[in-house]
Structure 1
Amino acid sequence: MAGTPSEKTCVACGRRIEWRKKWERDWDDVRYCSKSCRARGVSPVDRALESAITDLLSARARDATICPSEAARKVGGEQDTDWRELMEPARRAARRLVDAGEVEITQAGHVVDPSTAKGPIRIRRARP
């Protein structure tokens, strides 16, 4: 492979895929960062979370942010156990939307790399 391979994002979790030597011959076909992401894929619940994020942001001021838990509650309901199980899927949905250029993930008001962000995050519409 000549030069640096193009940067890719996992279609399931939205994290950056790190290039590996074993993928050298088929880098163009790599879509997932791991076996677990390949097995999980993107479900209708994942798409519902993406839609919930964009709907919640559309209903707010241009610079407003939301917490992933708001999208999880909207999709999973207000029962404590239902929406809590959707927290990591909501974060994955936000990362996929970052890759699509629709939103940004922030911490303490600063845009962060969605592949490495740990701890509480906020989601806002992407700024031009």
Structure 2
Amino acid sequence: MTGPREPKTCASCGRQIAWRRAWGRDWEQVRYCSQSCRTRRATGVDRALERAILDLLAARPRGATICPSEAARAVGGADEASWRPFMEPARAAARRLVAGGHVEILQGGQVLDPSTARGPIWVRRVPRG
């Protein structure tokens, strides 16, 4: 049995997957944090939300932020009943983009670990330099 490994990011929800001893031999194949995420997986809507986040950020000055609800509105539509179901998928899309090194998640103006974010968050492009 091998020792602890670097954490991974769930391919579905974007949360951090911590190494578990039970996964010791299969750690290289672990892609999902739970059975629920394994069943759900990322869909076309999830990819559309990722693209919406990146497009919204590209249209703003470097350092500007967006709320995940803006991406939810861009994909789901303007009326609240249609975009509201896309809020958690938009947050998951932002977490996946953090794992890819494209964006940062902020809360109270501070960059934070996306797996621990609770409440309102903001998304911005990763500063270059």
5+ residue gaps, structure 1:
none
Amino acid at match of 2:6: S
Listed as ranges, the gaps of 5+ residues in structure 2 are none
Contact 2:3–2:24 (CA under 8 A) maintained in structure 1? no
| Aligned alpha-carbon RMSD (Å) | 0.9
Q: TM-score scaled by structure 2?
A: 0.96
Query: Runs (4+) of structure 1 moved beyond 6 Å?
Result: none
Other-structure match for 1:96: 96
**Structure 1 length normalisation: TM-score?**
0.96
Q: In structure 2, what is the equivalent of residue 52 of structure 1?
A: 52
Cα distance, 1:6 vs structure 2: 2.3
CA offsets 1:16-49 (integer angstroms, 9 cap, x no match): 0011121111011000000000011000000000
Identity %: 63
Aligned AA (1:116): T
Greater CA deviation, 27-36 or 16-25?
16-25
Q: Secondary structure of the equivalent of 1:105?
A: strand
> Does residue 1:87 correspond to 2:87, yes or no?
yes
Q: Distance in 1 between matches of 2:127 and 2:13?
A: 22
Structure 1 residue 15, shift from structure 2 partner: 0.6
Aligned residues: 128
Residue 105 of structure 1 is matched in structure 2 by 105
